[in-house]
Structure 1
């Protein structure tokens, strides 16, 4: 069975322990998706020089956030890793991929998976986002990983299409007009399967720094789009901007 591809707008780490409209959707996804053999997670929070992955039996759980309640740091998501999957990722992506076991799974991965698959029984391997690579290269890596879907691997890309913490307005319910326009522009082009528009986002006047000042949270989307097949159905979930410059919009391809 071909496994789906997910792009999840992960938002605040507090989604790991709070119940809200977004986490309820993640929980629904966990119940309706076929159970994967393993999960390959591409997280915005492993933003590295080069492409890296990990092949340890038990990955570290990284608490890569500061100033949150104690309960968040006490949350444990004790998944196993998979050397078999890491080796296959290395083979598919190519010789420039590096094994780096100093990282593990960060909150871009575990804050989502603890709601989707709370039993922590599915092995997880994380893949980093190369900050030196152009947008098209991230899409091409996604294409290289596409065959994993036929092997029972769920590809989970985690970031936010709109993410600019420097412009966050904690009291704002929706998004700034420019941020919402960018989120809508990407959605329109994904639904029409015009993935080149998402790759070349910087060429449109719709993109402004209200969307993001760094592409770290945007680039995971391109891995997901690269792994999509022509016959995949596309489902949008958590279609919402909040706090001015945070998009929770997610996509399921299956």
Structure 2
């Protein structure tokens, strides 16, 4: 139950498919799974979100005492822009992330806050907004797929494991399948494309088998990969999550499904 510590004192790590901002105000099977997660997880000292919506040249973390709520979406109902998520920040844990990563410099930034990859999820998991939250950006200076680039992100993420020992819940927030060019925006329950289901199922099989190599070099999973992952921004947070899986740790899917035909809402927990 929430508030208890894990058996070995180490926090689990999550990948959350966050999907449309409309999930902020909707009650559906996906948001219900987030509520359930928040009640079942050990209570973290702080939360670090690796965000698909903070792409930078280099890697940064938010070190603010009071991070601002960022409305990084346009054309949605006014109700969404009236929602606030006033959680405190965690400068101490953010600075720990800076010290822990050796593969490339990680620096503090006061130019960001909590975008909807964070607060749209956490609003359901921790509605009281009483747990300190900070974000980590994704270095997008590479911006084109290459095995060495993907491996770089994976290797860097492994260096974050100490944060789990220090009570930090790490969440990669993106989507495994995320093609906005082919989205059925008007129908959240639209039948998913066959190529989307095929790729999502291949990823599922590799997650269960622990085949991180094909997840890193995802173009090896066939032609559907190009449609499922037209850009890397929403896929890379999953790479950060699997990099934190240690030997013997189990992986459990906390939600499966699609929204708007071309967005996989698959979520999972490690540890």
Tell me, yes or no, if the aligned pair for 2:19 and 2:259 is still in contact at 8 Å: no
Shift of 1:208: 3.3
Return the alpha-carbon distance in structure 1 between the equivalents of residues 190 and 259 of structure 2: 5
Deviation per CA, 1:202-232, whole angstroms, max 9, x where unpaired? 2231543320211100000000011111122
- Give how far 1:159 is off: 0.2
Counterpart selection for 2:253 from 227, 231, 236: 236
Structure 2, gaps ≥5 residues long: 1-8, 143-148
The residue aligned with 1:164 is 179
Q: Tell me if structure 1 keeps the 8 A contact 2:177–2:262.
A: yes
Listed one character per residue, the Cα deviations across residues 112-153 of structure 1 (whole Å, up to 9, x for unaligned) are: 001001111110110001113421122112200012111111
SS in 2 for 1:175: coil
1:61 lines up with 2:69 in the alignment: yes
**In the aligned structure 2, how far is the partner of 1:122 from the partner of 1:141?**
25
Aligned to 2:106: 97
Aligned to 1:26: 34
Given the alignment, which residue of 208, 223, 246 partners 2:263?
A: 246
Number of matched residues? 254
Residue 201 of structure 1 deviates from its aligned partner by 0.2
Gaps of 5+ in 1: none
In structure 2, distance between residues paired with 1:136 and 1:86:
23
Is the contact between residue 66 and residue 88 of structure 2 (CA under 8 Å) also seen in structure 1?
Answer: yes
Note the C-alpha offset of 1:3: 0.5
1:40 matched to 2:57? The reply is no
Q: Is the 8 A contact 2:219 2:226 kept in 1?
A: no
- Give the secondary-structure state (helix, strand or coil) at the position aligned to 1:210: helix
Q: Indicate which of 209, 213, 222 corresponds to 2:239.
A: 222
Question: 2:209 — aligned with what?
Answer: 192
TM-score w.r.t. length of structure 2: 0.90
Once residues 40 and 212 of structure 1 are traced to their aligned partners in structure 2, the CA distance between those partners, rounded to angstroms, is 24
User: What TM-score, normalized to structure 1?
Assistant: 0.96
Q: Supply the distance in 2 between the matched residues of 1:32 and 1:130 (Cα, whole angstroms).
A: 32
Q: Which moved more, 1:66-75 or 1:135-144?
A: 135-144
2:218 — aligned with what? 201
Alpha-carbon distance in 2 for matches of 1:137, 1:245: 28
